[in-house]
Amino acid sequence: MHPSRYAAVFRSLAFVATALLPARPMAQTPSRLLAQSYAVDPQHSTIEFVSRILGAVKVRGRFTDYTATIVYDSAAPERSSVSAIIKVASLTTDMSFRDRHLKSPDFFDAEHFPTIAFESDRVDRSADGLVMHGTLTLHGVSRPITMPVRVVLPPEVTPNTGQAGTAFEAQLRINRQDFGIAGTNKFNPDYDPATTVLSDSVDVILELRAQRDGFLNRRFTGQTPPSIADTVGKVLVANGVQSAVKVYKALRATQPGAYNFKSWQLDALARWTLAQGRPRDALELFKLNAEVFPASSGVAQGVAEGYAQLDDREHALLAYGRALRLDSTNTDAREMIRRLKQ
Residues 97-117 pLDDT 10s: 999 999 999 999 999 999 999
Q: What is the mean pLDDT of residues 22-27?
A: 54
Return the minimum-mean-pLDDT range out of 81-85, 154-158, 216-220.
216-220
Residues 238-281 pLDDT 10s: 999 999 999 999 999 999 999 999 999 999 999 999 999 999 99
What pLDDT score was predicted for residue 195? 62
Residue type for position 82 = V
What pLDDT score was predicted for residue 25? 55
Q: What is the mean pLDDT of residues 290-314?
A: 98
Residues 6+ apart with CB under 8 A from 260: 223, 225, 226, 227, 228
Residues 316-341 pLDDT 10s: 999 999 999 999 999 999 999 999 99
Q: Check pLDDT > 90 for residue 161.
A: no
Nearest alpha carbon to residue 93 among 139, 143, 48? 48
As annotated, the residues of the chain forming the CATH 1.25.40.10 domain(s) are 228-341
- DSSP reduced 3-state for 292: helix
Distance between CA 62 and CA 83 in Å, rounded?
19
Q: What is the mean pLDDT of residues 65-69?
A: 97
Task: Tell whether pTM > 0.75.
Answer: yes
Question: CATH number of the domain at 228-341, please?
Answer: 1.25.40.10
- What count of Cα atoms within 13 Å lies in the side-chain half-sphere of residue 51? 18
Q: Are 312 and 305 in contact (CB under 8 A)?
A: no
Q: Check pLDDT > 90 for residue 285.
A: yes
E strand segments, 22-65: 37-40, 46-53, 57-63
Q: 322-325: which pairs have CB atoms within 8 A and are 24 or more residues apart?
A: 323/297, 323/298, 324/297
What pLDDT score was predicted for residue 53? 81
Q: Check pLDDT > 90 for residue 148.
A: yes
Q: What is the mean pLDDT of residues 13-41?
A: 70
Confidence of residue 194 (pLDDT cuts 50, 70, 90): low
As annotated, the residues of the chain forming the CATH 2.40.128.110 domain(s) are 30-212
Q: Backbone dihedral region of 88: left (phi > 0), alpha (psi from -120 to 50 degrees) or beta?
A: alpha
Residues 89-99 pLDDT 10s: 999 999 999 99
Domain 30-212 class, CATH top level: mainly beta
What pLDDT score was predicted for residue 26? 61
The pLDDT mean for the chain works out to 90
